[in-house]
Amino acid sequence: MIHHITKNTNKSHLYINNLWKRRSISDSIGAPITKPRFEQSKASYSRFPQRKTKEIEFPVPFAATNAKGVSRFSSISNNGLVGWYLGMIKTRPILTKSITSALIYTAADLSSQTITRSSSEPYDLVRTIRMAGYGMIVLGPSLHYWFNFVSRLFPKRDLVATFKKMFMGQAVFGPIMTVVFFSVNAGLQGENGSEIVARLKRDLIPTMINGVMYWPICDFITFRFVPVHLQPLVSNSFSYIWTVYITYMASLEKAGTT
């Protein structure tokens, strides 16, 4: 009796299943065939699932700034020349910026000599060493302290603060460094005090006028969009063309003292 009831129950179960399958099939007739939809995972893709992927952030020169006016810069990579240079700026900022200035002044002076000398004249390597020494000993450390000072004085990077920094650069730092540059190089060439003063009277004003036509746009880009620890590098990069000109001015003959 029990066996008979179980058998009938199993038949009823099979019948209901078959009926449900036929109903599902009949309901699907005429329905559009769609491909399964796959949603892309928000997680980073990796060919090796067992390894964690590393997100790479690219620097955006015109990125938004936070409340303190600090741009949200991040390095492209922790490896390679860029990563090494940024690491050196962090660990040995003055030395790194000084060597950078020396290299740029060396390249600029060689370019200046290439433009102005005749093909039969040899390169003046003493002049090149003199320019490299100025970049290493004087300009590199000066740029480091100057940009840090201006950044503390005007911590924001909005337009008002940027124009204030530009004005200080043109009114204070630029003239002082131009006087120092001409004086140091003239002294290293053996000129005495009166000859150095005569050179400054002859060359300082024309050099400053040309500087006003060149440096404001460079300073605007540097102060507005570049973080303070990279500002000396960017300023040195802009100064390459300027240094070609100013090394030529510094190499002119002595001015008359009469």
210-251 tens-digit pLDDT:
889 899 999 999 999 999 888 988 988 888 888 888 888 887
pTM: 0.64
Half-sphere exposure of 152 (CA within 13 A, CB side): 5
Q: What's the average model confidence in pLDDT over 117-121?
A: 84
Question: Tens digits of per-residue pLDDT, 133-180?
Answer: 999 999 999 999 999 999 999 998 899 999 999 999 999 999 999 999
Separation between Cα atoms, residue 150 and residue 142, nearest integer Å: 12
Asked whether residue 106 carries a pLDDT value surpassing 80, the answer given is yes
- Token pair of 133, please? 């020494």
Percentage of residues in the chain having pLDDT higher than 70: 68
Please give the pLDDT value at position 256.
64
* Cβ contact 73:205 at 8 Å: no
pLDDT for position 10 = 56
Radius of gyration of the chain (CA): 35
Q: Which two tokens stand for residue 211?
A: 């500087």
Residue 18's pLDDT is 61
Mean pLDDT of 85-106: 92
Give the pLDDT score at 71: 45
pLDDT at residue 255 greater than cutoff 50: yes
